[in-house]
């Protein structure tokens, strides 16, 4: 059978490179587009992917890629992903996340590409009314990042009129690394996420960890999140490809781990993993746009994709911190 060709946008970012790696292992032809703004070139062990350095905002260059390649399915991971930054640079987020996705959809319409897998986020829910969160619960983002992803989702769903079938994944908090190929989170800019920040403290690059906020509506008053290992998350994309080819049906899935931990619990678990103390303070100051708790109900993805995460928080922490 002829190899299927998959275009991965942002295919060298943290999420994108882990998906690309798995696709190459599973014998797909992969074309990666990436502007390298927040990523680096990478040689995968398989080393048989096409890399094109372009920005998804460059419609002319994007058009050339589609003209020159027959693409069966697009995995659209390219985007800006920092909640805090999105509040400070809203137009940049609307530009890359919304206009970028419009460009991808325009290309799909023009070149009659039927299948899309989209990286959305738990941030679309805002502060959930109930826990764990179900896919059809209220979407009321409390930060610009989540708003851009919600607009993207609606544009994608409306684009079914062009024959586009999609799987939208709402990622909860992704962490860990693929240990085989050492594919870890490696941004060009500042580190702002919890796990990489803990790592910086352990490696003496930061004096101490600041846990943002001590008056959230949670048991220990710090935020609660649902951390899914990147290997599990990447694997869900393989299942989604098979699902789209087989059922040709659009779906929206929460992609979470079935577990939740507070920021304070994470620090305590990290101390256990490294068998050492971590220097931290809990500050009164909240970070703008942080919901109290994000925790996924994963029944839908279990039922339809037969997806069950294999890795737990200790795997995540061990991979992250070693
Ligand atoms: N945190 C700290 N100190 C730090 C860094 C983070 O206390 O130095 C806290 C945050 O305030 C938050 C928690 O750790 O309470 C997790 O923060 P991250 O920045 O690691 O992740 P976010 O929950 O803000 O966002 C991540 C992704 C989003 C995604 C979201 C979904 O960046 O793309 O998870 O849950 F939408």
The whole-number mean pLDDT for each consecutive block of 10 residues of the chain, a chain of 322 residues, reads 93 97 95 96 83 98 98 98 93 98 98 98 96 98 97 98 98 94 87 93 96 96 98 98 98 98 98 97 92 97 98 95 86
pLDDT of 47: 66
Total-model pTM:
0.97
DSSP 99: I
- Residue 295 Rama label (left phi>0; alpha psi -120 to 50; beta): beta
Topology of domain 177-224+258-295+310-321, CATH: UDP-galactose 4-epimerase; domain 1 (3.90.25)
Minimum CA distance residue for ligand 1 atom 4: 194
Ligand 1 center–CA 233 separation, angstroms: 17
145 given a catalytic annotation: yes
- Residue 121: strand, helix, or coil: strand
Minimum CA distance residue for ligand 1 atom 14: 194
pLDDT of 136: 98
Residues 6+ apart with CB under 8 A from 165: 114, 115, 116, 244, 248, 249, 250
Where along the chain do its domains lie? 5-175+226-255, 177-224+258-295+310-321
Minimum CA distance residue for ligand 1 atom 16: 194
Ligand 1 pocket residues where CB is under 6 Å: 81, 83, 121-123, 172-173, 192-194, 197, 209-212, 223, 225, 263, 287, 290, 294
Residues 6+ apart with CB under 8 A from 60: none
pLDDT of 148: 98
Minimum CA distance residue for ligand 1 atom 18: 193
Domains 5-175+226-255 and 177-224+258-295+310-321 share a fold: no
Q: Of these residues, 93, 145, 216, 280, which one is catalytic?
A: 145
Topology of domain 5-175+226-255, CATH: Rossmann fold (3.40.50)
Q: Give the CA count within 13 Å in the CB-facing half-sphere of 310.
A: 8
């Amino acid at each position: 059978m002829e190899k299927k060709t998959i275009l991965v946008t942002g295919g060298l970012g943290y999420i994108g490179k882990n998906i690309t790696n798995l696709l190459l292992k599973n014998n797909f032809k992969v074309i990666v587009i990436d502007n390298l703004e927040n990523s680096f070139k990478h040689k995968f062990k398989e080393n048989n992917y096409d890399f094109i350095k372009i920005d998804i905002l460059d419609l002319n260059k994007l058009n050339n890629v589609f003209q020159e390649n027959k693409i069966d399915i697009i995995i659209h991971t390219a985007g800006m992903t920092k909640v805090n930054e999105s509040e400070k640079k809203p137009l940049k987020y609307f530009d890359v996340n919304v206009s970028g996705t419009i460009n991808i959809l325009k290309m799909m319409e023009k070149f009659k590409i039927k299948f899309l897998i989209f990286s959305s986020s738990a941030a679309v829910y805002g502060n959930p009314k109930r826990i764990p969160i179900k896919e059809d619960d209220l979407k009321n983002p409390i930060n610009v990042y989540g708003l851009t992803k919600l607009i993207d989702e609606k544009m994608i769903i409306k684009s079914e009129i062009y024959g586009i079938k999609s799987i939208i994944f709402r990622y909860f908090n992704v962490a860990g690394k693929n240990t085989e190929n050492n594919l870890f989170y490696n941004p060009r800019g500042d580190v702002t996420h919890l796990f990489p920040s803990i790592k910086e403290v352990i490696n003496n690059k930061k004096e101490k960890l600041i846990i943002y906020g001590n008056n959230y509506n949670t048991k220990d008053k710090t935020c609660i999140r649902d951390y899914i290992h990147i290997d599990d998350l990447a694997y869900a994309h393989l299942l989604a490809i098979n699902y789209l080819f087989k059922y040709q049906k659009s779906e929206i899935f929460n992609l979470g781990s079935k577990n939740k931990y507070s920021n304070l619990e994470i620090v305590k678990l990290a101390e256990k993993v490294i068998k050492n103390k971590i220097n931290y303070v809990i500050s009164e100051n909240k970070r703008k746009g942080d919901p109290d708790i994000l925790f996924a109900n994963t029944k839908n993805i279990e039922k339809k994709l037969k997806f069950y995460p294999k890795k737990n928080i200790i795997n995540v922490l061990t991979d992250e911190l070693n």
